[in-house]
Amino acid sequence: MLAYVLRKLAYMPLILMGVILITFLLFFVVTSPEALARMRVGSKASQQQVCEWMATNGYITWTEEGRAKRAAPPEKTPDAADTEQGKVFEEGKDFTRTSNLTLFGRYLSDLARFDYGLDRRDRKVTAVLYEGMWASLALTVPAFFIAEILGVFFGLIAAMYRQTRIDHALVLSAILIMSVNSIALYMFGQKFLAAEWNYFPVTGFGEGLNAARYLILPILLYVFISYGEQLRFNRIVMLDETNQDYVRTARAKGLDENTVLFKHVLRNTLIPLITRWVVAIPSLYLGALVLESFFGIPGLGYLTVDAIANSDVNIVRATVVLGSITFMLANLLSDVLYAVADPRVKLS
Amino acid sequence: MAGLRGVVALLTLAVLGVLVSALTGCGGTAASIAAEDEGMVVLRRSEGEDPKTIDPHKAGDTGSSRHCSMCYESLLEYDFLERPAKLVPCTAREMPTYDTATLTYTFKLRDDVYFQDDRCFHPDAAGKTFAEEGERKLGTSGKGRKLTAHDYVWSFKRLSAIPDAEGFWLFEHKIAGIDEYHVKAMDLFSEDPDAWRKHLNEGKVEGIWAPDDHTFCVRFTEPYPQFLYAIAMSYGVAMAREAVEYYGAEIARKPVGTGPFVLKRWRFNMELVWERSPSYRDQRFPSSDNPDHARFKPFMGKRLPLADKVHFRIIKESQPEFLEFLQGNIDISGIDKDQFSTAITPQNELTPLLRDKGIQLRTWEDPYMSYIALNMDDNEVGTPAGDRGLAIRRALCLCIDREDLIRRYLNGRGVAARHVIPSTTFGYTEESGMTWQRYDPAEGRRQLEAAGFKVESIGRDLYRTTNPATGKQVNVTVLIRRNDQQSADYAVFLKSCGDKVGIRIESERMTFAEWLKRSNDRVGQAFDSGWIMDYPDAQNNLQLLYGPNAAQGLNYSGYNSEAYNRMYRELAPLDESDPAQRARKGDLVHQMHAELDKDLPWVMLNWNKTYSLYHSWYTHPDPNPFAYSYTKFVYADTPKRGELATSWASMPVLPGLLLSLLFLVPAGLMASRVIRQAR
C-alpha cells in the first residue's frame, strides 16, 4: 500500500502542473493585462496610467521611445487643429509585452513560494482563505454529517421495508422535496421561518458559539434539501446489499435484524459511501455558495464566484490550486479507505 | 433490537432537540439589537458587498467612497441643506481664493482639525510597522496630531505616485509638474522601492506646495474649475504619512483620518462598525430658516456627528436585505426589482404592508445614464458608412422604446434619456433634448428607406432592412457588459426593438473585464455603456464624446467631431460662478447637444431613478448623489427603533407547532411501525 500511496503522491505535482497551466491559459486568454489594469485603476484612467500599471506589474516593458513619450508634456493643440488625438501608446513601438512563458514562470515561482499575493481588495489571499474557510466549515461540516447520517438511516429503513408503506412514504417524500427548487426553499425558509415567524435570525453570523443561532436555519434547510437525494442514493445502495446471498444466510443463521443491518449490510455499503463522503471534502471548505449568500455567512462559497466575475486572478489561482490539491488528496484517501473497508481491495 | 430502537429514539430526540432549540433558543435579532444599542444613537445600514478598499486614493466605487468619507476629510464638502449641490469648506477655513493670472487656488486650513488617535502616532511605534507589531499593539494608541497643509501636499503626491490610484485622472495633465512627478514615481516603484519612498516624501511637484502649515496652494497648467468638485471626492482627502508608513498595504482596512468616525471593526463579508471619533472637532449641524429644512430643526446647532455608531451589515442578496429592513433591523433600503411589487403598488405608492409600519418612500433621479455607444469607425454604423451609417444610427435611436425598457427591466425606476447631462445639472434645458432620441420606429424605417435601404414587412411589427450593396439584412452587434439572466432578457429586448426597423440587433454578452478591453480597443460595432457622473458639472459627461478621449478610454464610440471638440475645449475651463462664463456655458451645452443630434454617436437609453425606503425613526437627508460625507448629519431615534422592531418580532406558536407536527407525526408513526415490525 505504501508503494501505491508514494506513487500517487509522485503523480500529484504533474497533475497539479497541468491544472495550473490550464488555469493560467484560461485566465489570461479571457482576461488581458489591460483589463486587469482597468479593474485596478478604474475605467476613467488614461491609457498612460493603464500602461504604467502594466509596467509596474511586469506585464509590459517600456521602449526608449515609449519612455520619452510618457515623460513628454501633453501637446497643447491650438483650436484650429481639431483632429488632435490624445497620447497613444502603441505595442511594439512604445512598449513590449512580457511573454506568456515568462509570466507563467513567475506564476509558478510565486506558487512554489506559497505566495498567492493580494486579492483585489489588497488583502493577503492566504488570510482571506483562512478566515473564510472556518465560516464555511461551520456551516457545511455539521450540515453534511447530519444529512449523511439521516440519509444512511432512512436509506437503510427504506431498503429494509422495501415495497411497504414505509418505503413508499419515504420515497414519495424524497421525490417531493427533490421536485422543489432549492433556492425557492431557501427563500421560503428565510421568509417564513425567519422573517414572518421570527424563529431564527434572517441573516448574519457571530463570533464563536454565538454563530450557532445563525447557522441552525441554513443547516436545517441544507439537511432538508439534501434529504431527497441522500435517501434515494442510500436506498439503492442498501437495496443492492440486502439482496445479496450473505444477508439471506445471516438471517437464516438466526441473526437479529439489528446485527444484519448494522454489522453486515452497513459495512458492505461503505465503499460507495466512502467515495461519496471523501469526494465531498473539497466542497466542504469551499462552502455552500447560495446558502452563504442568502444567510450572510462570511465563508468561501461566494469568494470564488466573485473572484472570477471581478478577474481577481490571485484568488482564482489560490482556490484552483487548493481545490486540486484537496481533491487529489481526497482521492488518495478514498483509495486507502477502500482497502481498509474491504479486505478484498488490494492497492498495488 | 435494542440497538435499532436506540437509534430511532436518538434520531427522534435529535429532531425534537433541533426543533425545540430552534423555537426557543434562537428567535429574531430585534431584541438583541435593541439591547446592544441601548443608550446610543446607532445607524443601521446594509451594503451589498464589502467596500473594495478604504484607501481613499484607490476608492473609485461608490461603496468604497462612502466608507472613506466616514473617516477621511477633504478641504471642501457638499452643503448638507442646500440644493442644487453646493460646495462649502470642510477642513478649509473658507472657500479658496483663485488667482486667474497664475491659475492658482489657495486654501486656508482650519486650526482645530486633528487626526484620530491611533497606534501610528505613538512614540513607541516610530520607525516600526503594523506588520512588525501586529494587532495586539493597536490597543495602545498615540495622540492624533494636528492636520497641516503639508498633509495635503503629501496626499496629492501619493495619489500621483501609486500605480493603482483610481483618481489620478482628475489631476493628470492639469496640475503643474504632476505628470513628470508621476512618471518618475512609476519608474522607481518597481525598480527601487527606497528611492520611490524618498521621491514620495521629498520629491517636489511644481504646482503643489504649502507656504506654511495652514496654507495649501495648487497651480494648474490650464484653467480647471472642476478641481473644487474633484477634491470633494475621496481622492482629495488628507492622509497622515505616519499612518500609511505604519500600516503599509493594511491602510486599506485600517484607515486613520480626521473624519467623524473611527473604524472599530471590519469583518469581511459580514459587517463594518464605525464609532464616533472622540477627537473630532466641534462641528455643528448647520442652521436654516428655510421651511423645506423644518424637519432638521431639532438637530440644528447640535454637535456632529449625530450618531454614536454606524453599523453596516454585508448582505449580498436582495431578499434577506429587504426582510431585515422590514423587521426594522436596517434603517434604509433600496428596492430591488424582485421586491418591487412587495413594496410599491402599480400606482407608484407604498403597499399597505410598508405603510402600516410607518415606512416612507423617497424617489429621485440619479446622475447615472445608460447608453449604447456606436463605434464611429465601424464600416457599417460609423462615419465610413456615410449617409447610410447615419440612417442606421437614426433608426437605432428611433427603434428603442425607452419607456418599455424602463417599465420591463427597471420596474419604472428610470427616466427616458434625451440629454447627455442630467436634469439637475446646469445647462440642461428641455429644448436641448436630442430629437432623434425618441421612440418612433415608423420614422426609423423612413430614414432607412430614404438612405437607399430596402425595408420590407415580414410580419406583424416585424421588418427586414436589406443593404442593397450586400443584399444582406442590416446587422448590428451590441457588446453587453454582463453575462447574467438580466442581460439575456435585455438582449432579447434589443432584438425586438431592432425588428421594428428591420435591423437585426445581436448581442454579445461578456464579463466586465472583457467588455472593458473590447470597448477600450473599440473592437465591436456598439457598446452597451453606463456612466455615473462624478461631480455636478456638464463637462464631466460631455468629455465622454470629446475626440481626444477616444485614446483615453472614455470615448468608446470614438466620436471625433471638429465642431464638438472645439466647443468642448471652450466649455471645459468656463467657471460657472462667473455670470458671463455661465451664460456662455449654457449656450455651449445646447449647441453640443445639437451637434450630437446631428451625428448620433450614442443611442441614449435612460437615467436611473432611485427609490429609497426608510423607517420613521430615521432622518433621511435630501438626496445629493455626489456627496458621501452626509452620515455625520444623519440621526436615528434608536429607542423608537428598538420598541417598534421588538413589537414586530412576535413569535407565533401555531405555525411552528404545525410544522413540527408535519415532520414528527409521520416520523413517529414510522418509528413505531419499524420498532413493532422489528419485534
Range(s) of the domain holding residue B589: 367-609
Count how many domains chain B has: 3
* B302 assigned to some structural domain: no
Q: Do B678 and A53 touch (CB under 8 A)?
A: no
Q: How many CB pairs under 8 A join A and B?
A: 245
Flag whether residue A251 sits within 8 Å of chain B, measured between CB atoms.
no
Cβ atoms of B615 and B327 within 8 Å: the answer is no
Q: In the structure grid, which three cell numbers stand for residue B335, read together? A: 428596492
User: What does pLDDT average to over chain A?
Assistant: 84
Q: Do A216 and B670 touch (CB under 8 A)?
A: no
Work out the pLDDT band at B9, boundaries 50, 70, 90.
low
Q: Is the pLDDT of residue A96 over 80?
A: yes
Measured between beta carbons, the chain A residues lying within 8 angstroms of B313 are 203-204, 296
Q: Both B459 and B324 in a single domain?
A: no
Q: Is the pLDDT of residue B28 over 80?
A: no
End-to-end alpha carbon distance in chain B: 7
State whether the Cα torsion B242-B244-B248-B252 is positive or negative.
Answer: positive
Work out the pLDDT band at A82, boundaries 50, 70, 90.
very low
Domain boundary, last residue among B594, B609, B624 = B609
Residue B596: what pLDDT? 97
pLDDT > 70 fraction of chain A, expressed in percent and rounded: 94
Beta strand segments in B255-347, E: 261-267, 271-276, 309-314, 332-334
Residue B667: what pLDDT? 77
Q: Is the pLDDT of residue A244 over 60?
A: yes
Which of the given ranges, A108-112, B246-250, B594-598, has the highest pLDDT on average? B594-598
Exposure b/e, B289-301, CB count within 10 A at least 16 = b: eeeebeebeebee
Assess: ipTM above 0.90.
no
* B287 assigned to some structural domain: no
* B326-366 per-position pLDDT tens digit: 999 999 998 887 788 889 888 888 999 999 999 999 999 99
Flag whether residue B560 sits within 8 Å of chain A, measured between CB atoms.
yes
* B150-174 per-position pLDDT tens digit: 999 999 999 999 999 998 988 988 9
Which of the given ranges, A123-127, A134-138, A222-226, B395-399, has the highest pLDDT on average? B395-399
Residues ≥6 apart with Cβ < 8 Å to A177: A224, A225, A227, A228
Q: In the structure grid, which three cell numbers stand for residue B498, read together? A: 431592432
Domain boundary, last residue among B261, B283, B300 = B261
Tell me the CATH number at B453. Answer: 3.10.105.10
Q: Both B374 and B342 in a single domain?
A: no
* A10-23 per-position pLDDT tens digit: 888 888 888 888 88
* B300 assigned to some structural domain: no
Q: Both B257 and B374 in a single domain?
A: no
Residue A77: what pLDDT? 54
Cβ atoms of A309 and A316 within 8 Å: the answer is no
- Name the 3-class secondary structure at B114: strand
Q: Both B490 and B620 in a single domain?
A: no
Q: Is the pLDDT of residue B23 over 70?
A: no
Q: Both B320 and B430 in a single domain?
A: no
Q: Both B336 and B400 in a single domain?
A: no
A positions 127-186 inside 8 Å of B (CB): 128, 131-132, 135, 150, 153, 157, 161, 165-166, 169-170, 173
Q: Both B485 and B439 in a single domain?
A: yes
Residue of B533, B506, B549 whose CA lies nearest to B608: B533
Residue B19: what pLDDT? 60
Amino acid identity of residue A49, one-letter, is Q
- Name the 3-class secondary structure at B552: coil
Residue B508: what pLDDT? 94
Q: Both B252 and B117 in a single domain?
A: yes
Work out the pLDDT band at A242, boundaries 50, 70, 90.
confident
* B451-477 per-position pLDDT tens digit: 999 999 998 889 999 998 889 999 999
Flag whether residue B38 sits within 8 Å of chain A, measured between CB atoms.
no
* B387-408 per-position pLDDT tens digit: 999 999 999 999 999 999 999 8
CA A10 from centroid of its chain's CA atoms: 24
* B119 assigned to some structural domain: yes
Measured CA to CA, the distance from residue B354 to residue A309 in angstroms comes to 35
Arithmetic mean of pLDDT, A162-188:
90
Flag whether residue B3 sits within 8 Å of chain A, measured between CB atoms.
yes
Higher pLDDT, A79 or B654: B654
Cα–Cα distances (Å) from B631 to B39, B69, B261, B275, in that order, read 19, 9, 9, 12
Flag whether residue B555 sits within 8 Å of chain A, measured between CB atoms.
no
A positions 298-337 inside 8 Å of B (CB): 298-299, 302, 306, 309-311
Q: Do B319 and A190 touch (CB under 8 A)?
A: yes
Measured between beta carbons, the chain B residues lying within 8 angstroms of A120 are 52
pLDDT > 90 fraction of chain A, expressed in percent and rounded: 20
Arithmetic mean of pLDDT, B317-331:
93
Q: Do B60 and A42 touch (CB under 8 A)?
A: yes
Domain boundary, last residue among B571, B592, B609 = B609
pTM, rounded to two decimals: 0.88
* B588 assigned to some structural domain: yes
* B389 assigned to some structural domain: yes
Cβ atoms of A122 and B53 within 8 Å: the answer is yes
Tell me the CATH number at B81. Answer: 3.40.190.10
Measured CA to CA, the distance from residue B79 to residue B626 in angstroms comes to 11
Measured CA to CA, the distance from residue A222 to residue A290 in angstroms comes to 11
Q: Is the pLDDT of residue B182 over 60?
A: yes
Q: Both B91 and B200 in a single domain?
A: yes
Residue B677: what pLDDT? 66
* A32-75 per-position pLDDT tens digit: 888 888 888 887 888 888 899 999 989 999 999 998 888 776 66
Residue A107: what pLDDT? 84
* B191-223 per-position pLDDT tens digit: 899 999 999 999 999 999 999 999 999 999 999
Q: Both B213 and B186 in a single domain?
A: yes
Residue A84: what pLDDT? 43
Flag whether residue B186 sits within 8 Å of chain A, measured between CB atoms.
yes
Q: Do B324 and A202 touch (CB under 8 A)?
A: yes
Arithmetic mean of pLDDT, B25-48:
86
Cβ atoms of A262 and B3 within 8 Å: the answer is yes
Residue of B591, B624, B595, B597 whose CA lies nearest to B610: B624
Q: Both B353 and B422 in a single domain?
A: no
Residue B421: what pLDDT? 96
* B299 assigned to some structural domain: no
Q: Is the pLDDT of residue A282 over 80?
A: no
Q: Do A220 and B520 touch (CB under 8 A)?
A: no
User: What does pLDDT average to over chain B?
Assistant: 91
Q: Both B630 and B505 in a single domain?
A: no
Work out the pLDDT band at B302, boundaries 50, 70, 90.
very high
Can you say whether residue B336 is alpha, beta or left, with left for phi > 0 and alpha for psi between -120 and 50 degrees? beta
Residue A273: what pLDDT? 85
Query: Least CA distance to A261: which residue of chain B?
Result: B4
* B274 assigned to some structural domain: no
Amino acid identity of residue A307, one-letter, is A
CB-closest option in B25, B26, B517 to A34: B517
